Amino acid sequence: MRIALDRYTFGCTPEGLAFARGPAGHVIRPIKGGRGGLRAELAREFYRRESKIASSSALTDAVATLEGIATDGPVVNAYLRTAEYNDAVYIDLGDIDESVIVIQAGEWSLTRENVPVLFRRTALTGQYSPPTTDGNLDSLWALISIAPEDRPLVLAFMVSALVQPDVPLTALSENAQPRSVKVLTR
């Protein structure tokens, strides 16, 4: 308990997910959970500090108590991958450093500090490569078969899906005619 209370603040999402948050972090750790859960992290830290294994009952009791503390804490939204806040879009890269792309006023930057939103991750949250200013889309077009005249539409679709988190998503579907892309909205 001492380790957890020294390292984390606790809260709950509107959906009822109890979480822990590190002092400067913006990626929450579910109190219950597998590899990304707080229980495993506390067991690892206890072993690192004490050179002995925490008992299963001590971990179970600590996790139950921390979950109670978290559900009494503030209710905070935690976003999956993208969030919009104060005219900026925040994109979680899914990396161990908790890097975030900030898109605001037509420009982007990469940061790990002062992120005003919280992100949650699942087992399916893969790591994005950090953006570069000298990017090239040739490798993308080599992976997907899109006619050159349709590429601007596909690129606009992909960017829109990424930077407009609160807008209903569209789905692209290839038409029966070769070299044609049809946009479907839901």
Residues 6+ apart with CB under 8 A from 92: 27, 79, 81, 82, 98, 100, 119, 121, 125
Q: What is the pTM of this model?
A: 0.76
Secondary element (H or E) of residue 142: helix 138-143
Q: Domain ranges for the chain, please list them.
A: 2-76, 78-115+122-134, 136-186
Q: What pLDDT, in 10s, does the model give residues 2-17?
A: 889 998 999 999 998 8
Residues 6+ apart with CB under 8 A from 167: 160
Q: Above 80 in pLDDT, residue 147?
A: yes
Query: pLDDT band at residue 156, thresholds of 50, 70 and 90?
Result: confident
Q: What pLDDT, in 10s, does the model give residues 116-132?
A: 999 998 888 889 888 88
Query: pLDDT band at residue 90, thresholds of 50, 70 and 90?
Result: very high
Looking at residue 176, what is its pLDDT?
47
Q: Above 60 in pLDDT, residue 180?
A: no
Token reading at 108: 């982007």
CA distances from 178 to 137, 146, 147, 181 (A): 21, 9, 9, 9
Looking at residue 182, what is its pLDDT?
58
Q: What pLDDT, in 10s, does the model give residues 92-106?
A: 999 988 999 999 988
